[in-house]
A and B are shown apart, each in its own frame.
Chain A
């Protein structure tokens, strides 16, 4: 077991020689380039960069990844490459600033936790003024009319653009002009805001390829240039999207040891010891009895829900549930009913109705009722009312499935998701599902529950039999990031491997021989982790991840409160890292995205419109990350403030503060929400 923190640690408290003479950014930049050269030298000598003397001198700047600005030679007026305020000698950062921002101010931290004294209020969506609604409808009307006029004349004047939409040579069109109307005539007007190719790490900043179009987005061409932009779009909640650092080092080691793939499905020769380890760790992380992992987040829902319910069962699903849940339910053959988003009264009356009525026509009682909700809704930023659901569950005896795709890692004082946030024992929920794509910077998903259930799903879910197993590098990213969130318990008695597989059930039963304590949330027992895995001390003891969780909570709250105080209409829970900013008018969406991208500090954002949202409530979806610094959030607030004035987006009725006040009193604002 090489888990001990024996790996060479850069002497992190060593002072830089020249820090006291650091008068301006110019010297800082030249200093950085010197460091960079040292780094290149080090790399050519093939020395592990973390242990080079040059770097231990300057650990506050650290290694650069391949795509950091040090290679790009851009001037740093954007504030993306280097921190706006140069670090002081005491501050030590082990991350690349472009991937994970440097922020040492301990007051910019916050704990994501539900206050039990405050009752959970149903989040009221604020309505915009009437003229906004009316202009929105009129905009859509104009767009639709124009589209039809263009179609009418287009088919007659330039029929070659329509051949693939018309019956041709005895073939029906793949997609008729009617079915594709919305895509062709409305969405294509803002195609430049979607699917933009990127390169490098999707961390605090991201490098996007610039595009142009000469034919109204019919075709989009790359200009060949790239722009580094502030990234407030990726689901990188805890900032684990990194090409450098302890997790990436572990992944590199795993590639060398295990290769890329396990070459098969879980049940047909694709099971690896890493799968067993990851599943045991996930179960421990969540405080559930057992867990299974699947190689794709979408498929976790779409292939395992059919293993849970079938004919004669009822699924009650929140109206805003993700598409993967809908696909899974449709494949299962169970009946579905929807309830109004997060409306527990509506849900209760529905429950009373369906239980009393039984199955349609026959009136036989339902075999079982499964309620599927999401922990954090990806388009609304709302949090499920879990305490109420657990109460209802006791009375109505349904089973509860919580999809924590966005909330796991991102919510709760220990990053364990909604159960942690509300301080509800995780086992009061029957099935916890989540993904590794978001907070853990990996890919795939998990399902956790009691052992009997998970074993049955291993056999009866579609993925185990037919889908490829999760690749080793992804598994190690999951294991390393998750262990660092939990912190690793140093195990006093280490037996060989520590893994004892009970002969009765070798896929699932992994008994950590020395782990008897069952408190939750607890540390990760070292015996579960692969013996070769060595994490840097800050990851090993969980302190860095704790900082990430607290930074994320601060950033989410600050972003949310800041936008509110600027006068924007936002949805969602104050602790939600997803902050939807309402735009309403379709024309303003693309303008907002383009103006954000064209700023001195370019910012990339996600705009979402119908059909992902209701027709009128088009929105910008901002995703805060632990990788952002307070300065980054300030930059975003300033950009929103200026663009919001130009586009007339500030329609909230609440109290407004000037931007300078918001930025100055951010800590007060965050703690007051």
Chain B
């Protein structure tokens, strides 16, 4: 006993010495007094409290060290395998092939795509047959394709700027011609500013996530185009859908959102109405004044996709705002397509300078993508000048639309869809149900059979010198399966006679194909 105490003695002395040494060095550290005071006050002669605090500290450290990506490794779903077992599992695993082989219908779909030889325009040449046809398929609404002024301007630009911009807008990719076009668009529409994207399709699917974040509310038309659907999906906001082009249904949706918010006493979030000016899917047109009234009444912001209506409706092609005589500044984000309306490439979003500047650093496809080639921007500027100076173009377009619809309305076996001023004219096969959009649960039509019939019509029309196209949709990826249609894009480049002749060909093709089936 004694001997053990004597052996422990130097050890104890060393412990006492080192603890006092530790204490003195601890107090030398600046701020140590504060820590000591805190420990003392929390200890309060109660070891239980100290233990509790210690546990808290350990827990905090553990939480900090736990990596988020590794979380499911320790989760209850994680199964532990030995290396050998993993090797076996790896050997066993056979992945599916990267793609499913194309079906016979897919093959036909792909091979029926017409390829144009030479310039696109009202009368292109088909590569496969070498025949010149009347083009009712491509978007040349204002007849800008092949415009010599625009070509000259493009060549001049090429000789000054080269072709590619070789950089994103943030890093020396903002060329003065981009700024000019942005200003031209803003002035043309009458908004404070606008921003240019380098692809039409990517414009709205980038504008939406730039503003709508998780927790925000989006009220959108059930039948919006695919780009909007993708934008909404990426934004991760809460979505309410309203019935296609039914502003009554929209108002109901707005009211119910409002009610819900009041009931839950939820904080104020950003709220958006998203819809299209003229719907790409069926050519319907939204009642803009009523829409704006609702937007102001319920304090929503409006994102309006004018990809089809910009450059095609209104006296000079300013779109729905000109048609309804509504100031464009009342639409918070007015999105349009430079590719469709101005026959160049890209898209834009017009709005207040706050809205536009926000996108310059937050819209993914603006920030992370190279800016548009300079000559495409100047071509678009030139196209705007052309629209401003020759309003007769759009009068011709409207006349041609009327002429086309007049013939097709009298055609047996098809239903003509869309607004009478819409430059795209869809028609589907006639059946008992008149609504285009049918809930996917109970399809009242056999999509594939109808598609085949419509494709027969397209092929027949092509053989008779008119280029048509089915409106194509991605099967299984669209939110709703809409009824198959043929989409005609009317152009101002035709005379009324030519349109009537082409429409007669379509009418004859429809008749032939349908009679063959009976």
Contact = CB atoms under 8 A, between A and B. Distances in A.
Given A255-B158, A506-B111, A174 B270 contact: yes
Interface in A447-490: 449, 452-453, 455-460, 462-463, 465-468, 471-474, 477
A198 B176 CA distance: 6
Given A269-B135, A474-B163, A199 B175 contact: yes
B268 A167 contact: yes
B488 to A, nearest CB: 11
B343 A263 contact: yes
A206 B160 CA distance: 12
A236 B94 contact: no
Interface string B102-135: 1000110111011111111100000110000001
B162 A242 contact: yes
Contact of A262 (B77, B116, B211, B362): B116
B375 A365 contact: no
A183 interface: yes
Central interface residue in B85, B167, B216, by most chain A CB within 10 Å = B167
Nearest to A368: B95
Contacts of A356: 79, 81, 85-86, 89-90
A251 B367 CA distance: 27
Contact of A460 (B116, B154, B355, B474): B474
Contact of A257 (B97, B101, B118, B170): B118
A272 interface: yes
A462 B135 CA distance: 24
Contacts of A582: none
Interface stretch (B26-34, B195-203, B428-436): B195-203
Nearest to A369: B95
Q: Most chain-A Cβ atoms within 10 A of its Cβ — which of B96, B164, B472?
A: B164
A444 to B, nearest CB: 9
A440 B117 CA distance: 24
A477 B164 contact: yes
A115 B353 CA distance: 53
Contacts of B345: 260-261, 295, 468, 471
A309 to B, nearest CB: 9
A490 B152 CA distance: 33
B107 A504 contact: yes
Interface string A199-220: 1111100101100000000000
B369 A65 contact: no
Interface residues on B, range: 35 or more
Nearest to A99: B162
Contacts of A243: 158-162
B199 A296 contact: yes
B462 to A, nearest CB: 11
Contacts of B38: none
A580 interface: no
Contacts of A449: 98
B95 A324 contact: no
A456 B159 contact: no
B301 interface: yes
A452 B202 contact: no
Interface string B56-96: 00000000000001001100011101000110011001111
Contacts of A235: 166-167, 370
A388 interface: no
Interface in B332-347: 337, 339-340, 343-345
A172 interface: yes
Interface in A300-341: 302-303, 306, 308, 322-324, 327, 330-331, 337-338
A459 B166 CA distance: 29
B354 interface: yes
Contacts of A196: 172, 174
Interface in B188-242: 198-202, 205, 211, 216, 225-227, 230, 233-234
Nearest to B473: A465
Given A174-B211, A257-B118, A462-B201, A452 B101 contact: yes
A296 B99 contact: no
Interface in B129-169: 135, 137-140, 145-147, 150-151, 154-155, 158-167, 169
Interface string A232-274: 0111100011111001100110011111111111111111110
Contacts of A200: 160-161
Given A302-B202, A306-B477, A198 B175 contact: yes
A41 B154 CA distance: 23
A355 B90 contact: yes
Contacts of B159: 65-66, 243-244, 248, 252
B376 interface: yes
B212 to A, nearest CB: 10
A164 interface: yes
Interface stretch (A27-35, A149-157, A390-398): A390-398
A604 interface: yes
Nearest to A308: B98
Contacts of A324: 364-365, 368-369
A323 B120 contact: no
Given A260-B154, A473-B158, A477-B163, A197 B113 contact: no
Interface in B341-400: 343-345, 354-355, 358, 360-362, 364-365, 367-370, 372-373, 375-376, 379
B162 A170 contact: no
A120 to B, nearest CB: 24
B199 A201 contact: no
Given A66-B160, A270-B120, A360-B77, A465 B166 contact: no
Given A252-B158, A298-B369, A172 B270 contact: yes
Interface string A485-510: 00000000000000101011111100
A124 B287 CA distance: 61
A38 to B, nearest CB: 18
A565 to B, nearest CB: 27
B102 A503 contact: no
A590 B358 CA distance: 22
Nearest to A505: B111
B467 interface: yes
Nearest to B371: A443
A604 to B, nearest CB: 6
A324 B135 CA distance: 35
A471 B338 CA distance: 13
B176 A298 contact: no
Contacts of A275: 115
A276 interface: yes
A171 B167 contact: no
Given A67-B160, A452-B101, A338 B69 contact: yes
B179 interface: yes
A291 interface: no
Contacts of B370: 235, 297, 435, 437, 443
B469 interface: yes
A442 interface: yes
B172 A198 contact: yes
Given A459-B110, A471-B344, A276 B115 contact: yes
A438 interface: yes
A285 B164 CA distance: 20
Name the residue among B216, B301, B373 with the largest chain A CB count within 10 angstroms: B373
A361 interface: yes
Interface in B467-488: 467, 469-474, 477, 487
Contact of A443 (B72, B99, B165, B269): B165
Interface string A332-370: 000001100000000000011101110011010111111
Given A198-B176, A462-B477, 16 more contacts: A65-B159, A195-B174, A199-B176, A255-B375, A259-B150, A263-B140, A264-B138, A269-B137, A298-B202, A330-B233, A352-B90, A355-B90, A365-B93, A437-B165, A466-B226, A472-B119
Interchain residue pairs A-B with the least CB separation, the first 4: A269-B137, A467-B201, A298-B369, A296-B199
16 contacts: A174-B270, A198-B175, A202-B165, A248-B159, A260-B150, A260-B375, A299-B199, A302-B202, A352-B90, A355-B93, A363-B79, A452-B101, A473-B158, A477-B164, A501-B128, A606-B171
